[in-house]
Amino acid sequence: MIRLENISKTYQTDKVETLALKDIHLHVQKGEFVSIMGPSGCGKSTLLNLIGLLDRPGTGAIKVAGTEVKSYRDKDVARLRNHTFGFIFQSFHLINDLRVIDNVELPLLYRSVSSSERRRMAKAALEKVGLGARMEHYPNQLSGGQQQRVAIARAMVGKPQVLLADEPTGNLDSQMGGEVMDHLLTLNKEGTTVVMVTHDERAAKRGSRIVRVFDGQLVA
């Protein structure tokens, strides 16, 4: 499904050059639930961002469904992000000016989907995460757990092949975190590939495979 070959990533500031990832080879198979673990600052979020095409590698190649992404134009990468990936962020990244239903509709805005169909799909996604009654609310009227469920609904509304979650339970208490994990596992069981960055060993073990990163490199 996704193949990273010899990936390195360096961040350059005014005077300092920081190596975030080095010689990464990773293959995520279709239908897997891969948990990426490692200490803070080891490069796991950078790795997730590269998988989701939110960032560009310094060297190496990223292949999605066998095609190298490097050659893609902005429009093509945008289309790939829209159709292939769904993102869940630790800090939710909901748009506070928009209602919950409008936030969930967001990925569908960039597809040729009619507004009534968009509304229907967003409503179904919200009902799936148990927030059917909160559609007209604004994100800041919801609890952290509810906001993350909105983020999950937004990530899955377009039925992406891969869900990328960056510490989805990091800002939630254990009960809320457990509910979020349940939703991710359900989606995975339904065929969605999930790649999740987490600090939580217990949550990571609920996936099918754990990938560990240390000092920018994958470790066994």
Partner 1 sequence: MFKNYLLTAYKVYMRRKLFTLINLLCITLTLVVLLVVTALLQNAFHPSGVEGKSDRFLQVIMFQAIMKDGNGSRTSPVGYKVIDKYLKPMKTAKLVSAVTQPDTVSVYQDDRVTELMMRRADAEYWQILDFKVLAGRVPTPDDVARGRFVAVLNESSAKKLFPDLAAVGQSLNVGGQPFEIIGVVEDVMHLNAYAEIWAPVTTYPSSEYKNQLFGEFTALILADSAADLPQIKAEVEQIATRIEFDDPNVWSHGYIWADSKLDFFARELIGSRNDADSGAGTLVVVLWVMALLFMLLPVLNLVNLNTGRIMERSAEIGVRKAFGASSSQLVGQLVIENMLLCLVGGVLGLLCTKAVLLWLEGSGLIPYLKVEINLAVFGYGLMITLVFGLLSGVIPAWKMSRLDPVYALKGVA
Among 19, 61, 106, 210, binds partner 1 (CB under 8 A): 106
Phi/psi of residue 20, each to 5°? -90, -40
Site for partner 1 in 151-190 (CB under 8 A): 154, 158
**Which range, of 30-38, 63-71, 109-117, 168-176, touches partner 1 by CB under 8 A?**
109-117
Task: Verify binding: residue 107, partner 1, rule CB under 8 A.
Answer: yes
Q: How far apart are CA 129 and CA 112, in angstroms?
A: 25
CA Rg value for the chain: 17
Taking CB under 8 A as the criterion, which residues in 38-57 touch partner 1?
Answer: 49, 52, 54-56
Segment interacting with partner 1, rule: CB under 8 A, options 35-43, 86-94, 128-136, 208-216: 86-94
Which residue in 29, 95, 120, 136 binds partner 1 (CB under 8 A)? 95
User: x-or-dash pattern for partner 1, window 112-131, by CB under 8 A?
Assistant: ---x----------------
Check residue 75 for interaction with partner 1 (CB under 8 A): yes
Q: Does 111 bind partner 1 (CB under 8 A)?
A: yes
Total residues at the site for partner 1 (CB under 8 A)? 31
Question: Taking CB under 8 A as the criterion, which residues in 135-154 touch partner 1?
Answer: 154
Sign of CA dihedral 69, 215, 209, 182: negative
Q: For binding to partner 1 (CB under 8 A), which residues are involved?
A: 49, 52, 54-56, 74-75, 78-79, 81-83, 85-87, 89, 93-95, 97-98, 102, 105-107, 109-111, 115, 154, 158
